[in-house]
Chain A
Amino acid sequence: MKSFNKTITTILLFAVAIAGCKKSFLDRPSNSQISSNNFYKSTSDLRLATASLYAGAQWSRWNRSGMMPFGDVLAGTGSFAYSQDLVQLFTRTITAQNTYVSEAWISLYNVIGQCNTVINAIKEQADASIPQADKNAAIAEAKFIRAMAYYYLAIYYGAVPIIEDNRKLIDNPLLNRNIMSDVYKFATNDLTYAAQYLPKTDQKGRLTTWSAQGMLGKVYLTMAGVGKSGGMRSQSLLDSAKKYAGNVCKNSGLTLFPSYYELFKAQNNDSPESLFALQWTAGVGYATGNDLQTWYAPTGEVLPQKTGGWQSLAPTYDLYRMYSPKDTVRRKATIMLNGDFYPELNQAAGGYKATGTGMKKHIIGNEKDNNAPTMGSWSSIEHNSLLRLADVYLVYAEAILGNNTSTSDADALLYFNKVRTRAGVDPVTSINPTMLRVERRVELAYEGQYWIDLVRFSYYDPTSAVKWLNDQDATHGRIGFTYDPVTKIATRDTTALPSTLPATISSFTLPIPASEMTSSPKLAEPPVPYY
């Protein structure tokens, strides 16, 4: 013990203590999550970052609560369910507290927030070794998706705030709304960038320049009516729509999928006809995947774990009236009638025979039907399209029709009739605006499109658009119906209905969610220009 040297011991103990401390001691990056400042090292990192923009929790709530409740229920294609907030869509008494109104708002801005963060991160942090073209392409994907979100916001809510950098909101959270035409302009700027930098072809499911050009055509067609009246639209914007949509029709090399019925099966996800589809996957949890069939199916019988069908979205009598007698393929692929047999649903039980009317599109069956064991109530593997070639064909025809009362333009007829013949209905020799609206409604039913068409209509012909909505009520068009498989007669429901407020031009704009107005009072002020 006495040989213990006091000085040496003291020094040793100090040394041990100090050796424990490195300079990087306080740097503790998370081990389970990647942080933005150590990601974006290679092109494949950029691809992973943009892949998340194609689906996921940020899209899920809009997909369920915005796309069809507005696109189809508000437009009189899907009948309301007996649920308080859906009833408001029927009675035109939509309040700022309406769940669908706030869910869609939250979801679309979540999409924008994700896109903004990816765009800014690539601009600021992507490794210098990544080829510029790859960076541009990745930014182009994010910009396309951001443009989609702004497009929907402008359609539903009109003037909304434009946000490009969410970080700025930490210090300055309160924003004014931006005028609607600037929101559209912002979308076209993003899409123009995307059209320029996206590749002509890419992995299945990824965006291409044709996606961006098709969408540009659609947005220009919408913008052509903004601020107009009397049924006349801006010719130069119609020309832009025609240019981009026409380019996709003629030069993309893409064609319609041969069978309309098969197009909506999950095994045909991301067919060449699909220009932008949400890339859902199985096995994800509540409110993070595609749960359309779980909510809106007519029955839980055909669903994973036989669970769902809580808010069966019945077709309206008005929609049923739109199908001509020969239009059976699209009808059966879109809505079920009593007695219809669907062999692909619930195959273990030998298929499903419908016992009433109901929505069919998006109903793809259970996990065994799709050979997807982890597919559950919140995770259908259907990649539902938000833009497909048939839509662009009809946009092209409409752009050509323009301000005319009818057209027999060869191109317009060619692409219009391609949509019809694929569905097994007769081609036409002349197109007028009403025919276009009906064709779009039937072709794109339950894809969230018809309300968009009506809003577009309301921009340049408000009187007719308002009348159109009121006529639909006058003919009891937004009511469900029953179908007798023996007599093949459809009978409109006669149950007493909640009283409906007459439509006005303001019926075409949804309120901004109440909680948002409370937390950001400047939204109540008149919108300001962005540019």
Chain B
Amino acid sequence: MNQTIFIRKLPAFTLLVIFLMLLHLRGYAQDRLITGKVAANEDSSPLSGATVLLKGRNKSTVTNEQGLFSILAKKGDVLIFRMVGFKPQEITVGDANIINVVLKGERTNLDDVVVIGYAKIARKDATGSIGSISGEELRQTQPTTFDQALQGKVAGVVVQQVSGQPGGGVSIQIRGVSSISGSNSPLFVIDGVIIPPVNDPGKGSNPLNAINPSEIESIDVLKDASATAIYGSQATNGVVVITTKRGKIGAPSISYDVYAGFQEIPGRLPTIDLQQLATFINARAAVWGFDVRPEFANPQYLGKGTDWQKELFRRAPMQNHDITLKGGDTRTQYLLSASYFNQEGIALGSDFKRYSVRLNLDNKTTNWLKIGTSLQLAHVDENVAATGASVISTALNNTPDIPVTNSDGSWGAVTNNSGWVQPSANPVALATIIKNLRKRNQVFGNLYAEIQIAKGLSLRNELSGNFDFTTEDYFSPSYTFGKGTPSQNSGSTSAGQNFYTVIRNFLNYGHTFGKLRLDALAGHESQESTFHNVSAGRINFPSNNVQAINAGDPTTATNGGDNSLSNPKGGSAQESYFGRINLSWDDKYLLTGNIRRDGSSNFPSYNRWVTTYSGGFAWKIKNEAFLKDVAAINDLKLRLGYGLTNNQGIQGNSFITQLTSVPNGLSGTAQFQSNLANPNVTWEKTDYYSAGIDASFFNGRLSFVLDVYNRQTDGLLLKVPLPLYSGTAAGYSPGSMAAPYVNVGKVSNKGFDFQISSTNISTQKFNWKTSFTLSRNINKIIFLGSGGDQANLSTSFNNDIIQTTVVGQPIGQFYGYIFDGVYATPNDLQTHARPVNSAGNPYPVSAAGGGIWYGDRMFKDLNGDGVIDSKDKTFLGSPLPKFQFGLNNSFSYKNFDLNVFFSGNYGNKIFNQLKVSQTDPQNNSSYFSAILDYARVALRDPNGSATDVNNVYVTNPNTTIVSLRNDNTNGNNRPNSLFIEDGSFIKCKNITLGYRFSEKLLSKIHIRSVRVYGTVTNAFIITKYSGMDPEIGSWNPLSAGWDSGYYAQPRVFTLGANITLN
């Protein structure tokens, strides 16, 4: 096969010579009719429109709708079968009159088609940086929602799961974080429907989790300005274009895809059992002099107690069914599919069900008019776990001595009446008794008409929209857990509508003038989105069984305007004009120019319109004379691009003072001014430089794409923290006006994306392919306005700054002290710097309260002034990974196929918040096993004084856990390097083993193809991180990388089958 491709690539005259020679050798034979069928290997569907070329004889034909062809040829002729998106194949005519061919549906970069915004072009003609994955690749990881599957597949795209909850969201950033106030999420375009970037795609109207991954044909990720500018101001963080499958010309085919499996928690955090707890509490009580618990008197007789993680997590089933009918003739092509997906969550009380129907229809009405639609109806039922995103920390709040249920059937909980033991909720009970049901109905679709006005000139009209209806039902019955305050029952219900519509018209023109090819596009687009939410809540229902909202106590009724619905009704609009020119000279030099003018309702009328533009240049070096004959190089292209993009990442109407109705004792309600308006607010601007190389060698066996970029975002919109006397606050501060949005900052993102794929072994029976992606992004704050370094963009933990955003550092850098061991020797206490009190004097060395003593944590005195104070804090790393990578290996042997996919992060830091509380001996929740290594304080002379510095020491000086002393003058849990851990990891995201049944066998029972497979998702992970899962996404770049015990991604085992009927 390699040889044949090699031949194809030889210059034409060489071929001619060879074939003339062949002809001479073979002599003359009689032409006869050869017929056959061309099919695709992925699902054996017939390929219509495939070219069948008689090599060297200038004769060709095209397959019909059933994939059939007929051609006159003679023995010894070579037939070349070609189809875009498939590897060409050559077959020499033998004695048989019927030749059936199966083309391998494998994308080589060269034949690819990519979306460039309002059009598609061949990848080889693209000037921008565009990464793509096929639907088939996507489905290898069996994702619940497609966004989860982008991870590690496209270089430059950082995908991080925010919650492992079924249907839970992921955060996606393309080439870094460029906005603090606005969204850093890319723009999603699904079959032409623009989904504006949202900050939190995990909940609410997330159209993304209603899309069934099995319906996706391809995903294209537009990364640089020269690719995204055509989408204008919403696209400054990149564009993800999703194309769903459509019908093809051919006989109707029905396929059924099914998989079922189960999920389990990837691991449990190591907690101590009841026996260990009792021993520990006894030891602590001996030091404290109180809190002796009689029930712990004999730890050796106690069992393991309750393992709350075990109680709260389960092995949860999931299943998915899709039925697709597709086909069509030359006039009409259709695809109709129905699917059902049901996933239980690994945490009690959570599940996700999706029912969807899709109809994609294309009709060539007349020879100048084409119409069509993509339409999806989806219904999602979601049970949101009562324990929410922090399910693990909830499990860890309870100690093993607490039973899940008491012997009388009531729920177990803390009953210890000591004042310092906090009551805690029983998470199993909450998950069982609290109802929190979200239902969503979504109509999502696109309607188009395309008119061929003249040769090369067409007009396309599109009307698309997303209509989303959500209801949420919540009821919490009355309950009492142990000594906790009895909870009154309460219920709430809410309903919301989000409507989004786009009308779009554009003209396409294409013409070839000699060596010059011109393609032009001009259009207009208007977008409108509105939302409307209402909610009602009441408490004190007469019975827990009557949950209708009107049954609650009417005097407790609340509605709308609560915190989650502070803005119950509103909307925004955008209007745009856009144009593009693509020029190609001699298939060597490509030039693209984009311009788009956007008007947004988010800005005052005088700052409303903005222009985004970009230019791209590509040089197809391969097509130059000096490379044309180099057979080893199949493709070599250099790309350069520049663009100026704009971002509108602020809420609407922040340029004007908003008045909020607040309750008031004087007049019932009154108007409170909720923001300080900045009438001069304007767009964030990004200067975007990029360059790239596309190359392919050795007949496509090795190819790579390398991109470098530099994004400089200026006029960063920031809710600027003014001095307090301004009466404003950037964060939560009751009574303060919201700080004004001001264009102040500047942030830079530089980096590269690299993607390489190779065919390592390619024989008739065995194939092995590898692809690898690597992304590097360097984020840096250049400027933060007049507030400069003082701009208060910090997040605190234990009343101390742990994460901060300052000039010269990446956004959201961790910040704190450097852990320096525990005070273990007299020398430590006498010479090592100690923290200071509010007057600036070091705390005394003393075993009594208010002093620093053995077993307290030491922190490095970085400035060497002999005391520990805030000047000793330093940067402790960034939650943003230095590198992200993905590695995919696929093997096939005969009818078996195997795919193994790894992805990973390198160089990011995680704040392990659970570790703080769960390794603190003063704490009264459960403990990690590490607590058992608490600093053990001993006396050198057992009869000597326990308060004499020189008579005391720590027997395990290398511990990181403080001693049992009931004092924390030292501030042991202040933000420090002990809690900021390396989050680098390699995760085996997916292993799939498949088997394709022999088609000969199947044809007897009228089945075209059957493939069965087994998959393990999140199979294993290699990391130094001590928490459950280092893959932590966040919507807010200022406080990213916090592991507060979130819903971990499950390990999933599935078995599935793809069946296609004739």
Contact = CB atoms under 8 A, between A and B. Distances in A.
Contacts of B662: 52, 56-57, 284, 288
A10 B672 contact: no
Given A30-B652, A173-B786, A287-B735, A25 B526 contact: yes
A51 B678 CA distance: 25
A461 B670 CA distance: 44
A170 B742 contact: yes
A496 interface: no
Given A26-B601, A28-B652, A173-B787, A34 B365 contact: no
Nearest to A277: B665
Given A28-B570, A167-B676, A33 B658 contact: yes
Interface stretch (A308-316, A333-341, A478-486, A514-522): A514-522
A4 interface: yes
B944 interface: no
Given A26-B599, A28-B653, A56 B838 contact: no
Given A56-B662, A281-B663, A374-B556, A113 B567 contact: no
Contact of A29 (B453, B653, B670, B671): B653
A74 B366 CA distance: 89
Contact of B735 (A107, A374, A518): A107
Interface stretch (B142-150, B248-256, B571-579, B610-618): B571-579
Given A31-B571, A105-B724, A109-B726, A56 B735 contact: yes
Given A106-B736, A161-B725, A516-B724, A14 B505 contact: yes
B967 to A, nearest CB: 15
B199 interface: no
Contacts of B553: 373
Given A27-B605, A28-B601, A516-B723, A39 B735 contact: no
A412 interface: no
Contacts of B574: 26
A288 B733 CA distance: 10
A32 interface: yes
A54 interface: yes
Interface residues of B, number: 84
For A49, A88, A307, the residue with the greatest tally of chain B CB atoms inside 10 Å of its CB is: A49
A14 B449 CA distance: 11
Interface residues of A, number: 93
B406 interface: no
Contact of A519 (B575, B670, B721): B721
Contacts of A49: 659, 670-671
A58 interface: yes
Contact of B672 (A47, A114, A175, A279): A114
B737 interface: yes
Contact of B676 (A28, A170, A513): A170
Nearest to B791: A519
Contacts of A281: 663-665
A34 B671 contact: yes
A110 B673 CA distance: 10
B734 A20 contact: no
A472 interface: no
Interface in A381-398: 381, 383
B660 A110 contact: no
B672 A57 contact: yes
Contacts of A381: 665
For B365, B665, B677, B735, the residue with the greatest tally of chain A CB atoms inside 10 Å of its CB is: B665
Nearest to B792: A519
A469 interface: no
Contacts of A39: 659, 671
A28 B573 contact: yes
Given A106-B736, A288-B662, A516-B724, A6 B571 contact: no
B734 to A, nearest CB: 4
Interface in B658-704: 658-667, 669-674, 676-678, 680
B839 interface: yes
For A169, A307, A515, the residue with the greatest tally of chain B CB atoms inside 10 Å of its CB is: A169
Nearest to B571: A28
Contacts of A54: 664-666, 670
A112 B727 contact: yes
B657 interface: yes
Interface string B458-487: 010100000000000000000000000100
B727 A30 contact: no
A485 B51 CA distance: 107
Contacts of B555: 373-374
Contacts of A9: 369, 449, 451
Contacts of B369: 4, 6, 9
B721 A48 contact: no
A490 interface: no
B498 to A, nearest CB: 14
A41 to B, nearest CB: 12
Interface in A271-293: 278-288
B724 A515 contact: yes
Contacts of A47: 667
B735 A57 contact: yes
A174 interface: yes
Contacts of B674: 33
A27 B528 CA distance: 11
B11 interface: no
Interface string B605-635: 1001000000000000000000000000000
A513 B792 CA distance: 15
For A35, A59, A279, the residue with the greatest tally of chain B CB atoms inside 10 Å of its CB is: A35
A112 B737 CA distance: 11
B657 A2 contact: no
B722 interface: yes
Contact of B366 (A2, A106, A112): A2
A531 B451 CA distance: 73
Contacts of B659: 33-36, 39, 49
B722 A169 contact: yes
Given A10-B459, A93-B839, A174 B723 contact: yes
Nearest to A121: B657
A291 to B, nearest CB: 11
Contact of A10 (B453, B526, B608, B740): B453
A206 B670 CA distance: 13
A30 B653 contact: yes
Contacts of A516: 723-725
A52 B722 contact: no
Nearest to A59: B735
A205 interface: yes
A13 B721 CA distance: 49
B569 interface: yes
A506 to B, nearest CB: 15
A206 B505 CA distance: 59
B971 interface: no
Interface of B: 365-366, 368-369, 449, 451, 453, 459, 461, 485, 503-505, 524, 526, 528, 553, 555-556, 560-561, 563, 566-575, 599-601, 605, 608, 652-653, 656-667, 669-674, 676-678, 680, 720-729, 733-737, 740, 742, 786-787, 790, 792, 838-839
Interface of A: 1-2, 4, 6, 9-10, 13-14, 16-17, 20-21, 25-37, 39, 47-49, 51-52, 54-61, 88, 93, 95, 97, 102, 105-107, 109-114, 116-118, 121, 160-161, 163, 166-167, 169-170, 173-175, 203, 205-206, 269, 278-288, 307, 373-374, 381, 383, 513, 515-516, 518-520
Closest 3 CB pairs of A and B: A113-B727, A57-B735, A52-B670
Given A34-B658, A373-B556, 7 more contacts: A14-B459, A32-B568, A35-B653, A52-B670, A113-B736, A114-B673, A278-B665
23 contacts: A10-B451, A13-B459, A17-B503, A25-B528, A26-B608, A30-B658, A31-B571, A32-B569, A34-B658, A35-B659, A36-B658, A51-B670, A51-B671, A56-B735, A97-B838, A105-B725, A113-B727, A113-B728, A166-B676, A166-B728, A167-B678, A170-B742, A281-B664
